[in-house]
Copies of this chain bind each other. A is one copy, B any other.
Amino acid sequence: MIPRYSRPEMVSIWEPANKFKIWYEIEAHACDGQAKLGVIPEEAAKAVWDNGNKPYTDERIARIDEIERETKHDVIAFLTELSEHIGDYSRFVHQGMTSSDVLDTCLNVQLTQAADLLLSDMDKLLTALEKRAEEHKYTVTIGRSHGIHAEPVTFGLKLAKHFAEFKRGRDRLAAARAEIATCAISGAVGTFANIDPSVETHVAEKLGLAVEPVSTQVIPRDRHAMFFAVLGVIASSIENLSVEIRHLQRTELREAEEFFSKGQKGSSAMPHKRNPVLTENLTGLARLVRSAVVPAMENVALWHERDISHSSVERMIGPDATVTLDFALARLTSVVENLVVYGENMQKNLDQLGGLHNSQRVLLQLTQHGVSREDAYRLVQKNAMESWQTGKSFQDLLKQDEEVSAKLSDETIDSLFDMEYHTKHVDTIFKRVFEK
């Protein structure tokens, strides 16, 4: 997580002010839960809200840091600072709880907040993709397998594919968000020995979380592993679309281009040198988000009721992966929204092979006119090869070939070079993708 690849809203989720606010809310709600049970006085719980519910300003955070430098314990430092606001009642705060109750529930709240932001990012990306897909629903372009011209598709179809992929990513993220939205207030080893389960239920409800069915000291880390894995798959989809755009922007293709603002300097002396730097950057960012996946999985196997090896990992990948993915999704959305699409170049590139992309269609037609597969192959291959080597029109060559014309009339041949043949089911596909 570095400023260059960060956006403030996601960054703020991981800042001390937000963290302490969540800690505070967990403790305050827990006090309410304890007061309901009569474990602590109602006035104590009230005092926590009345005197403690204040923003975590820089001053308060500095004070907490000061105490932590002495005690070397973050939750104790937090509680001590809080007690300076609440006074004597503070001895009822955190009762029966363990630090991890606060830390783990807080982390899950943060991840949930991060997920919500990412879901909103994805919605914007999906909107942009749908809009551009509709715009280019019938912008014909050559489909390429192995980087080699195959048969025509439309640029809208390409975007529809990425829409569908990000839509799946969104659904997975929503599921991962639900999985990570749990709360544990279960005490030192998760047995509720010192705190009643109803407190956990109360806090969970107030924070919009589910109760963690069985925690030890910690919330189990398979939930987090899944969460980061889902981010990793989304990042891979970002790479997927980025690589597509990078390809389309190559000098020889120039079918699409990242938007290049007027003032933007750079290779001003080489006007063709509009580099797809944003999507290249996104390709790299995808690698970074993905790099969180394995450590998150290595975090699952903690010793017995917990060891703290996961903590340093999460302090880094928590912010890093979410901030980077948030930035990347926003950047990609902007790239998609502003992508310059050169339909004429798409057509030009498509025409480059003189209609050879219809060869399979000719083949099929011959077969359906009674020619054996082997003979059909031979006929198509002969003419295709000549077109390829001489640059002559494949369509014309077919008409001139006696064996072919014995089976197919000129009209039939012409009909085989009709572009609508290739786009006739675009609407079907669009309905599948966008109408759900």
* A276: chain B residues within 8 A (beta carbon): 146-148
With A and B bound together, what is the CA distance between A168 and B182 in angstroms? 13
Instruction: Tell whether A259 is near chain B: CB-to-CB under 8 Å.
Output: no
Q: Nearest chain B CB to A81's CB is how many angstroms away? A: 15
Q: Quick one: given A160-B214, A164-B214, A272-B388, are A191 and B304 in contact (CB under 8 Å)?
A: no
Q: Quick one: given A148-B275, A191-B426, A361-B194, are A220 and B165 in contact (CB under 8 Å)?
A: yes
Instruction: Tell whether A152 is near chain B: CB-to-CB under 8 Å.
Output: yes
* A145: chain B residues within 8 A (beta carbon): 188-189, 217, 275, 304-307
B303 touches A144 (CB 8 A): yes
Please name 28 pairs of A and B residues whose Cβ atoms are closer than 8 Å in the assembled complex, sorted by A: A70-B263, A73-B266, A95-B364, A143-B217, A144-B250, A144-B303, A145-B306, A145-B307, A146-B275, A146-B277, A147-B251, A147-B276, A147-B307, A153-B190, A161-B216, A164-B213, A193-B425, A194-B360, A214-B433, A232-B293, A244-B304, A246-B303, A252-B252, A270-B359, A272-B388, A277-B308, A290-B297, A294-B294
* A192: chain B residues within 8 A (beta carbon): 424-425, 428-429
Within 164-200 of A, Cβ neighbours of B (below 8 Å) are at: 164-165, 168-169, 172, 175, 179, 187-194, 196-197
Give the interface SS of chain A, mostly helix, strand, loop or mixed. Answer: helix
Q: Can you name 4 extra interface pairs (CB under 8 A) apart from A146-B246, A193-B424?
A: A1-B316, A5-B315, A72-B265, A168-B226
B148 touches A193 (CB 8 A): no
Q: Nearest chain B CB to A162's CB is how many angstroms away? A: 9
* A315: chain B residues within 8 A (beta carbon): 2, 4-5
Q: Which 5 A-B residue pairings sit nearest by Cβ, starting from the closest?
A: A143-B189, A146-B275, A284-B312, A236-B300, A144-B304
With A and B bound together, what is the CA distance between A168 and B237 in angstroms? 25
B243 touches A301 (CB 8 A): yes
A280 touches B308 (CB 8 A): yes
Contacting residue for A281 out of B151, B288, B311, B380, CB 8 A:
B311
* A311: chain B residues within 8 A (beta carbon): 280-281, 284
Stretch from A21-29, A105-113, A349-357, A402-410 that touches the partner = A349-357
Instruction: Tell whether A225 is near chain B: CB-to-CB under 8 Å.
Output: yes
With A and B bound together, what is the CA distance between A243 and B236 in angstroms? 18
Q: Quick one: given A95-B367, A146-B277, A165-B222, are A313 and B301 in contact (CB under 8 Å)?
A: no
Q: Nearest chain B CB to A116's CB is how many angstroms away? A: 21
Q: Nearest chain B CB to A296's CB is how many angstroms away? A: 9
Q: Quick one: given A307-B145, A312-B5, are A266 and B72 in contact (CB under 8 Å)?
A: yes
A233 touches B265 (CB 8 A): no
Instruction: Tell whether A249 is near chain B: CB-to-CB under 8 Å.
Output: yes
Instruction: Tell whether A384 is near chain B: CB-to-CB under 8 Å.
Output: yes
Instruction: Tell whether A223 is near chain B: CB-to-CB under 8 Å.
Output: yes
Q: Nearest chain B CB to A86's CB is how many angstroms away? A: 13
B153 touches A271 (CB 8 A): no
A309 touches B294 (CB 8 A): no
Q: Nearest chain B CB to A279's CB is how many angstroms away? A: 9
With A and B bound together, what is the CA distance between A222 and B290 in angstroms? 13
* A71: chain B residues within 8 A (beta carbon): 265
Name the residue on B nearest A168 (C-beta): B222
Instruction: Tell whether A320 is near chain B: CB-to-CB under 8 Å.
Output: yes
Instruction: Tell whether A333 is near chain B: CB-to-CB under 8 Å.
Output: no
* A423: chain B residues within 8 A (beta carbon): 191
Contacting residue for A2 out of B160, B246, B316, CB 8 A:
B316
With A and B bound together, what is the CA distance between A311 and B288 in angstroms? 11
Name the residue on B nearest A277 (C-beta): B308
Name the residue on B nearest A370 (C-beta): B91
With A and B bound together, what is the CA distance between A76 and B192 in angstroms? 51
Name the residue on B nearest A287 (C-beta): B295
B360 touches A270 (CB 8 A): yes
Instruction: Tell whether A11 is near chain B: CB-to-CB under 8 Å.
Output: no
* A251: chain B residues within 8 A (beta carbon): 144, 147-149, 352-353
Q: Nearest chain B CB to A53's CB is how many angstroms away? A: 22
Q: Nearest chain B CB to A210's CB is how many angstroms away? A: 11
With A and B bound together, what is the CA distance between A2 and B152 in angstroms? 36
